Chains A and B, each alone.
Chain A
């Protein structure tokens, strides 16, 4: 029997936490994650979820609580956004280094200075190298389903999982969500078996000082040094790929919903042009692909669902020999380009792929980005490629890139030519299509 309810992304996540029978929760308020922790408080105080809820005084402490509770053998959850995630940075490394299956929701939000409470993905992308698995959701259904999958993945490989979804665009937007059956979730998710022992019956010193080299224990057995432990974390994270794929498959069998394992595609089979992105931006790209198809451009979408471990093999397979690849992302690696774009290019290295790759930085700090604009950007890139540009510069979409003192007026808002081109390129029917779309914050925008 299906149980479809209309809810926000944060409500979906809270129900996912409840269904996963989490035992310890710790969280700290930050927009746009707050309503998730409020919903969980309701469950715990209302007796719907039997769990310890530790309302600490900072995000650094949040993760300390999760680390310790997970170490003694409890299933734990936390969530945060933006500055909260950055404040956890030290603890993110500590959690992964401890090999604890902590699951966290990162409700993506831009980072200061200056203050922005609006959505982009700079917060979690900046934590790429902390040893956490990162999964990006494209809608509220995927949030609830991914959360349940995340525990199974984390507890199989002993690597923490960050379930990322876009602030406001998903967290505060109502969508229909089918709530999985509690008993089925229970079967899908066996109880957590801790891999470390922290009990008076068998005293151990966990995470002590470790030397660069390997050392013998009192029985003369050579034990790991720091690098061996790091290598094991790397192998576990790489190996998580198979677990993620298998978990998604098993989930599909039980619950009938397939969100893709490492990535998903849309109209990609015969596509000559691929648009790629993470999170809700990728579903926006599917609308853009439809528009481009109407213009008789064979466009398709690859949604990168798992950013770490990076889906290198899948990317190589699915991107194959395309005419052009457009990477849209809500982050920037200052001094270079978008982090996703760099990773994709690295994955293509050695495949002989000569497809031009054009990187678009979009939606930083919540700057609006519509499917129409993604389609227009694709068209202008295609034009540039047709006129011989194989490696166009990174484009900041919908951004006035005029710098005082510079002669050249850059691309984006201020570019007259581009505006004109868009006018020429679009039929009325497409425009009508565009007008029906448009997402935005559904509930009050709180202070940072």
Chain B
């Protein structure tokens, strides 16, 4: 990534992107759909990323990656790692069909979902990754009424050789996951929680703080599953060992998007976070 790009100040995506590209190093071809990442990559004829990249349509990221893999195989260039990077909208929603298909075909590529929990590029509309209780421009008064889709669970059901959950606030953990993923063959799925100041409504300087709180509260859990074996990683591992998670209110109260969340929603969300945490604990045991 070259100095200077078009993302907002304090963009969690741009942090994560920097770390993951460093970990992947050269010999990589990227494909990206319409998203904030398209904007980050720059306007023709300039770009902020010195890695070959093929832009694809919004729904087709994983299929686009399949085509890259097929084309490279046909030309006997199997040394290149194909990496697809999409937002939550491009993964959980419009891209889920192509992603599920590519995973089932055991396509040899890394799919990265950076999760900023809404359609940010079009101005913060609700996606299926938006958490319950969040204000978006399409849930502007009542907040989102449903809980977030558990995409990691869906991808886990595809029985992948490697799956990981990371956060842009934990660079080393994220970096290690990409280094590990690059060495594995088959479909690898890495989901990165990427806080977004304008969408989540907090000051740009707090991106890392918000990201850390998401992990401290167990809203985001750092883990990896390799060949079916679940492992907590980084800060989540420590939390799991110590059993000292913070209540989610510590995370929610710092973001304007949750200002209309009801007490019932808060209780429900806390219950869901606890339930999932216990599920993870059982899997890790």
Contact = CB atoms under 8 A, between A and B. Distances in A.
Interface string A27-68: 000000000000000000000000110111110111011111
B101 A56 contact: yes
Interface string B40-67: 0111111101111111110110111111
Contacts of A74: 70-71, 74-75
B70 A57 contact: no
B38 A209 contact: yes
Contacts of A60: 57, 59-60, 63, 98
B122 interface: no
Q: Which 6 A-B pairs have the closest CB atoms?
A: A68-B67, A57-B101, A69-B71, A61-B63, A64-B63, A64-B60
Interface string A88-115: 0011001000000000000000000000
Given A67-B56, A210-B44, A52 B73 contact: yes
A133 B246 CA distance: 61
Interface stretch (B23-31, B127-135, B208-216, B218-226): B23-31
B270 to A, nearest CB: 37
Interface residues of B, number: 46
A57 B97 contact: yes
A91 B57 contact: yes
Contacts of A350: none
Interface string A151-189: 000000000000000000000000000000000000000
18 contacts: A57-B100, A58-B97, A61-B62, A64-B57, A64-B63, A64-B66, A68-B66, A69-B68, A70-B67, A70-B71, A71-B54, A73-B71, A74-B75, A202-B52, A204-B52, A207-B54, A208-B55, A210-B43
Interface stretch (A4-12, A211-219, A378-386): A211-219
A95 to B, nearest CB: 10
Contacts of B104: 57
Contacts of A26: 67, 70
A205 interface: yes
B39 interface: yes
Contacts of A210: 43-44
A198 interface: yes
Most buried by B among A64, A199, A216: A64
A202 B39 CA distance: 21
Nearest to A198: B52
Given A60-B57, A72-B29, 4 more contacts: A68-B65, A69-B74, A203-B51, A210-B43
Interface in B67-107: 67-68, 70-75, 77, 80, 97-98, 100-101, 104-105
Contact of A64 (B27, B64, B75): B64
A23 B74 contact: yes
A24 B52 contact: no
Most buried by B among A55, A203, A215: A203
B98 A64 contact: yes
Contacts of B77: 72, 199
A60 B68 CA distance: 15
Contacts of A217: 45-46
A206 B43 CA distance: 11
Contact of A218 (B46, B49, B70): B46
B281 to A, nearest CB: 35
A200 interface: yes
Contacts of A223: 44-45
A61 B54 contact: no
B44 A211 contact: yes
A72 B101 contact: no
B55 A64 contact: no
A56 B102 CA distance: 8
Contact of A205 (B41, B57, B60, B98): B41
A199 to B, nearest CB: 6
Contacts of A211: 43-44
B225 to A, nearest CB: 23
Given A23-B74, A74-B75, A61 B46 contact: no
A203 B70 contact: no
A248 to B, nearest CB: 29
A218 to B, nearest CB: 6
